[in-house]
Amino acid sequence: MEITAPQPTPKRRPRVLLWTVVSLLLASASALGWWQFRTRDKLDESCANCRKMIEVMLRQYARDHDGWYPRGGTTALDSLAKLVEYEHDVHHFTSHALSPQLIKYWKQHQTFAPDFTCYRYNEGLKADDLGNWVVLYFHQPTLWECNKHNHKGTALGRPVLLSPGPSWQFLEEEMFQKYQADTLRYLAEKGRLKKPAPSQ
């Protein structure tokens, strides 16, 4: 007597198809969530290419103003905004996510708002001041060092624009705090220290 394998019941095929579809949807949702997690911080961070333009703008400004970086505004960020000649320059000073808000604010007030600006500025430095002085720095510690394009370190730090030069570096937070304290002390000794506004 010949034995034949049992045939699958008609109900098993739709069930296999259903599980395949569910698995694909879960995999797609996981991939989308991972992509959003990986890119969210980058949208909120400053852009390495935009930061490079700030360096160029500061050098040009110093050449045109007897070696001084921007000064004389009502706040340090107001002084920094003197670098902007045209609307399209504004986006260099913020993240891609916050760029529309800062541009709108600048068009209305011709200055920068701390809430929309990635940086804080130490007003009072000159291009020929000798020492590792902090001209500009990212407003909060971050793990993403965008100078190295997508490299993530294990220690918190900040993109920092150091003078003379000026040139960008990524400093771990402890080192940044030391450089910042030294810079503020230097400015105080020179009588150039501007008291920050409460929001800065």
Structure confidence by residue, pLDDT tens digits, 19-34: 776 666 665 555 444 4
- Predicted pLDDT of residue 142: 83
The better pLDDT of the pair 142, 1 is held by 142
**Residue 13: which pLDDT band, with cuts at 50, 70 and 90?**
low
Provide the mean pLDDT of the chain: 80
CA 83 to chain centre: 18
Question: Quick check: 121 and 160 in contact, CB under 8 A?
Answer: no
Q: How far apart are CA 41 and CA 19, in angstroms?
A: 34
Q: What is the 3-state secondary structure (H, E, C) of the chain?
A: CCCCCCCCCCCHHHHHHHHHHHHHHHHHHHHHHHHHHHHHHHHHCECHHHHHHHHHHHHHHHHHCCCECCCCCCCHHHHHHHHCCCHHHHHHHCECCCHHHHHHHHHHHCCCCHHHCCEEECCCCECCCCCCEEEEEECCCEEEEHHHCCEEEEEEEEEEEEECCCEEEEEEHHHHHHHHHHHHHHHHHCCCCCCCCCCC
Q: How far apart are CA 91 and CA 95, in angstroms?
A: 7
* Per-residue pLDDT tens over the stretch 85-113: 888 899 889 888 888 999 999 999 999 99
- Predicted pLDDT of residue 164: 85
* Per-residue pLDDT tens over the stretch 50-88: 788 999 999 999 999 999 999 999 999 999 999 998 888
- Predicted pLDDT of residue 143: 74
* Per-residue pLDDT tens over the stretch 136-166: 999 988 875 554 444 455 678 888 999 988 8
Kindly tell me if the per-residue pLDDT of 118 is higher than 50.
Answer: yes
